[in-house]
Amino acid sequence: MFLAKVEGSVVATKKDPKMLGRKLLILRPMLVDDKDHTKLKAGVNTIVAVDSVGAGEDEMVMFCQGSSARLANGLKDAPVDAVVVGIVDAVDVGGKIIFKTGK
């Protein structure tokens, strides 16, 4: 699993039938800063992921990719490579909270 910030959404009216009704989010992966472990830094790429938990813009989420993504509820046969599986409340690294919802 990976951490990411929700940056927006994608609307696609024409898509694979197994994707109908699925909310699509634009995610920017977040990494623990290798120079300062008390901070998160944004990755350079973005990812489109299926939302399985009701996440919204600016929230920190957990997502998985690849074959693990299709293990999320109802996605077994869907053409999915990334799915949001959790909304993050806090991130603790080395005993220090480096992210907390609302902070």
Whether the predicted model's global pTM rises above the 0.95 cut: no
Report domain extents, the chain: 2-100
- Angle, CA of 91, 23 and 20, to the nearest 5°: 145
| Count of all residues that appear for the chain in the document | 103
> What is 2-100's CATH number, 3.90.110.10, 1.20.1260.10, 2.30.30.30, 2.40.50.220?
2.40.50.220
pLDDT tens sequence for the chain (103 residues): 999 999 999 999 999 998 999 999 999 999 999 999 999 999 999 999 999 999 999 999 999 998 888 777 778 888 889 999 999 999 999 999 999 998 6
Where would I find the beta strands (DSSP E) of the chain? 2-10, 24-32, 40-42, 47-51, 60-65, 82-87, 90-93, 96-100
CA distance 66 to 70: 8
Instruction: Determine the 3-state secondary structure of 59 from DSSP.
Output: coil
Query: What residues have CB less than 8 Å from 77, skipping those under 6 apart?
Result: 18, 70
The string of pLDDT tens digits covering residues 18-38 is 899 999 999 999 999 999 999
